[in-house]
Structure formats: C-alpha cells, structure tokens
Structure 1
Amino acid sequence: MKGTIANQPTILALDFDGVICNGLKEYFETAWQTYRDIWSQADKAPPQDLAEKFYRLRPVIETGWEMPLLIAALLSGVTEDKILQEWHAIAHVILQETRLQSATIAHKLDSFRDQWIRDDLASWLNLHSFYPGVIEKLNSLINSPTQVFIVTTKEGRFVQQLLAQQGIQLPEKSVFGKENKRPKHEILHELIAAAKTLPASLWFVEDRIKTLELVAQQANLDTVKLYLADWGYNTKDERQAAQNHDRIQLLSLAQFADDFSTWG
C-alpha cells in the first residue's frame, strides 16, 4: 500500500446502520408493513419466527428496497442457506415475477417510514438502539482534529433524526445518505479531495465487506485504511474474509470505542 498512514485519521468515515446504529427491529417492522401493502397480505401480525430469520439474513441486504423482498422469499419457502448464497439472483427473480420496480418498492418503504415518523416519532425512535460506546466515541470526536462523516445508504434525514435524539448535531454536509446517489468509494475520494488538513488520512468503518472490497480496488484510494465492523450486519464467513484480506482489518466494538492507537 502506498504512502504512510498516521496513527490517527484526519477524516473518519462511518457507515450508519450496523456500525453506529442497530435498527433491526425498525427494519423488520417497516419491511413487514411494506410487504403487506405490496402483496396485499391481510394478516397484521407476521409469523412467529419470521423476524428472527430476517435478523439473521440482514447481511444480504444492500439497500432498503430489498427488505420486503427478503420477507417474500422467506414466506415462499426459500431456505436461509440459499438466500445467503444466491440473494441477488433471488431478488431479481422476485422482481421479474411480480413485475415490480425497485424504485416503486423504495418509494413505498420510505413513504411508510415517513408517515410513521409523522404520526408517532417516539415509537419509531424506540425501535433503534446505538451500539455500546459509539455515541460517546462520536461525542469525543466532535471538537477533535478528526473530521467525522457518515456515509450510508440510509436516507440522510433519518440519520439526522436518530443522531439528534442522542444529542449529536452533525452538519448536513457531514452526512452522505441515499439521496446522494453515488457509490461510497466516490464519496470517499471526494472527502479526500476536499480535505482541509493535508496530507489527508482517511479511515473508513463499514459492516459490508463487499463495499470495503470495492474501495480496496480503487487506485485513488490506496492509502485509505479499511475496517470491517465485526459487531455489524455481517456473517462469520465475511469476517474471516476480512482477516484474510491484505487491506481490510477486522475491528471490534471495544477497539472502536477506544483510542485510535488500538485499532491495529
């Protein structure tokens, strides 16, 4: 890897879901209600074991519109192993069979979430939890030399709502959400290009190994330090893959909450 890396980042880029916030309960409720709407499901309550299956399979989801499809796949009898191995192909088949567009599903999902927030913000917020030590870590960085950015596929306004509940007010320009419609590696490159402190040292924490692998393939990001959050939405095989990768380091929650010098 080219260049030298400081023992502390000048820029810390963080994914949100699975790194800062655990929103599994909210995901499932939103996905279930969206599924009910699209598939005209009369039952208000989901099958008893559906939520736990959904939680286990959350690592396959890349963007929110896939979540109701995951429920559809499970209810149609697709096994968990098959979903783990062939999710993208399965999702494509469901779209073809139902003649649905991903944009249509995304709109319904976001509309349900927006309505929920308008009607009962407290119950929506209460289905989210923040991983231990993460809010304290963010607070410690607010006035430090390290600039913090959130780079996520979640809508930026939802991120701001959740952080505000914890007393964290990040500038709007510090949150790059789904509305930016650009790959994360492009955003990381822009952050380096716009850095106030040079040379920029960017560290990126993400819970999806495929995202980190794509960043590692970019020649213009060869000095970025890459971390897979082992507490996030990933599988044992993905964590093993991170340990075998020459650019990606496996990061524990205890390390994340500690001083940067412990990050390896």
Structure 2
Amino acid sequence: MGGGGHLYALDFDGVICDSCGESSLSALKAAKIRWPQLFEQVDPRMEDWIIGQMHTLRPVVETGYENLLLIRLLVELQIPSTRKSMVSVGLTVDAILENWSELKPIIMKEWGEHRDSLVDLFGRVRDEWIDKDFAGWIGANRFYPGTADALRFASSQVYIVTTKQSRFADALLRELAGVIIPPERIYGLGTGPKVEVLKKIQLMPEHEGLMLHFVEDRLATLKNVIKEPALDGWNLYLGRWGYNTEKERNEAESIARIQLLDLSDFSKKLK
C-alpha cells in the first residue's frame, strides 16, 4: 500500500449543515398536506411550539420523512382529541427522544402510513419551496461555522454520504458554501445503507493507500460500521456539534473505535 493522502466520507445534516430549521418547516408544510383535518386545530402559537420541540427531537431523525411523523405525534400530545394512536397517551417529548426506534413502526402502522409515500411528499414539498422561494429555503439552513471554508480548501478527497436526497445536498453546497462536489461523490438517499456506500468507496482502485475517515453525528450509524469487519480500516468520528445527545456522546467515549471530534478540529483535519 502506497502512502498518500486522506479521504473523508462526511455525513451532511448535523456534520456540515444545520438543516433542522428547514427540515422542520418543510415537514410542517408536508404534514398539513398529508393530514389537513388534524391541522385545522393547530394555531400559529402551537406551530411555534412544535418547531421548537423539533430541535430537541432532531437527534432521533435518520431520514427526513421521520420529521412528519414527529410533527404529527407532537400535535397528538397537545390536542388529545386528534389522537389516532394509543402510544401518544401520556407520552412526553423526553420519552419520544428515548424510545423513537420502538415508537416509529407502531405509529406508522396505527396511522396506516408508508415510508415511500412520505419520502415522496417530503421531497415534493421541498422542491415546491425551492421553486417558489429559493432564497427563503436556502436561508432556513446554515452551515456550521468553519465547515464551508474547510470544504473549499480541503486537500483531502471528500465524499458526502447522506440520507438526504442528493439534489438538496448539492444545492446547499453550491449556494451556502460555494463548493461544487462532483455528483459521483455525493451519495444521497436511495444509494443504499451507509455501510454499503463506505465499502464501495474503499474498493475504488484510485483510493488505494489513502487513509479513510468517516465523520458522522449519529452514534447508531457508527455502531453499524463497527459491526462490519470489512470496514475495519476506517477511522470513525462522532461530531460533538451535531444532532446527538449527551448520553450518546458519553457512550461513544467508551467505544475504542470512535473518536469524538470538536468542530474546530474537524475544520483543521480537512485542511
């Protein structure tokens, strides 16, 4: 193996981009389309409360469509008459944060929802927002301090590995960071699980001899990588600034494979 440079596979939301404001607003728009009767009882003050709670709940979201489910669940917590799910009785925001992976399949079944139709709706609502008010959509996102410069001046090879739809990641990189990453280096929703994408990247002949680094803000994703012996060559990092909880950061400290990363160190590493 020749010595050589570094390759960074980067998650997008929660590592490069703080998209929580945008994803929560997009999901609220989409939820109003999906469940119009439900939202007849929701006033602007409650909408503000919901958006505020979404910042707390953001660490549980793996794929964008889950934001719609969370918003509906928050409405059920506030307005008992809208309940279509037994799980929302006595539920708290903290309990959602703690038990989301168990709650999600139950509410989807009770509400008769399907992942693909929610993914399509969420993407469509975003596309409409972008068409009608591109500046407003861009402005609802922000890049974490220093990340745009780090990407712009990176001497390492950079890949984006995200559960966001590629076209949205690409638009934000161009507009917010002034960074153009070739489309073949952006692996978005629909390109397969992140562990499979990392395998694909490491097997590319042009990457032989490079040090491999994967930066993520979801502990569960890093734990999935650790389970794959084929990915033993990757250096793994959990970004402290991203969408994770103190409990998850403490757990990551006890896992030898995972390094906790501060935002300032991340920007230095890419350069």
User: TM-score with structure 2 length normalisation?
Assistant: 0.88
Residues 30/17 of structure 1: CA separation in 2 closer, same or farther (3 Å cut): same
Q: CA RMSD in A?
A: 1.9
Q: Cα offset for 1:152?
A: 0.1
2:150 counterpart residue number: 137
Q: Cα offset for 1:9?
A: 5.3
Q: Cα offset for 1:200?
A: 3.0
2:11 counterpart residue number: 15
1:66 counterpart residue number: 66
Per-residue CA deviation, residues 50-86 of structure 1 (Å, 9 max, x unaligned), is: 2121101100111111111111112222311211221
Match of 1:99 among 112, 115, 122: 112
Structure 2's unaligned 5+ residue stretches are 78-90
2:54 counterpart residue number: 54
For 1:135 and 1:226, locate their aligned partners in 2 and report how far apart those are by CA, in whole Å.
21
User: TM-score with structure 1 length normalisation?
Assistant: 0.91
One-letter amino acid of the counterpart of residue 64, structure 1? G
- Matched-pair contact (CA < 8 Å) for 1:156–1:179: no
Per-residue CA deviation, residues 146-176 of structure 1 (Å, 9 max, x unaligned), is: 2100000001000110111121111110100
1:115 counterpart residue number: 128
Q: What SS does the corresponding residue of 2:44 show, helix, strand or coil?
A: coil
- Matched-pair contact (CA < 8 Å) for 1:230–1:251: yes
Percent identical among aligned pairs is 36
Q: Cα offset for 1:179?
A: 2.8
Q: Residues 152-171 of structure 1: matches in 2 within 5 Å?
A: 152-165=162-175, 166-171=177-182
Q: What SS does the corresponding residue of 1:178 show, helix, strand or coil?
A: coil
Q: Residues 1-264 of structure 1: matches in 2 within 5 Å?
A: 10-40=6-36, 41-42=39-40, 43=42, 45=44, 47=46, 48-77=48-77, 78-141=91-154, 144=155, 146-165=156-175, 166-180=177-191, 182-259=192-269
Structure 1's unaligned 5+ residue stretches are none
One-letter amino acid of the counterpart of residue 15, structure 2? V
2:85 counterpart residue number: none
For 1:195 and 1:241, locate their aligned partners in 2 and report how far apart those are by CA, in whole Å.
35
For 1:171 and 1:149, locate their aligned partners in 2 and report how far apart those are by CA, in whole Å.
9
Per-residue CA deviation, residues 125-158 of structure 1 (Å, 9 max, x unaligned), is: 00010001101111111xx3x2100000001000
For 2:170 and 2:123, locate their aligned partners in 1 and report how far apart those are by CA, in whole Å.
15
Q: What SS does the corresponding residue of 2:260 show, helix, strand or coil?
A: strand
Q: What SS does the corresponding residue of 1:16 show, helix, strand or coil?
A: coil
> Greater share of helix residues, 1 or 2?
2
One-letter amino acid of the counterpart of residue 110, structure 1? G
- Matched-pair contact (CA < 8 Å) for 1:21–1:130: yes
Residues 123/242 of structure 1: CA separation in 2 closer, same or farther (3 Å cut): same
Residues 58/157 of structure 1: CA separation in 2 closer, same or farther (3 Å cut): same
For 2:133 and 2:149, locate their aligned partners in 1 and report how far apart those are by CA, in whole Å.
27
- Matched-pair contact (CA < 8 Å) for 1:229–1:252: yes
Residues 197/152 of structure 1: CA separation in 2 closer, same or farther (3 Å cut): closer
- Matched-pair contact (CA < 8 Å) for 1:227–1:249: yes
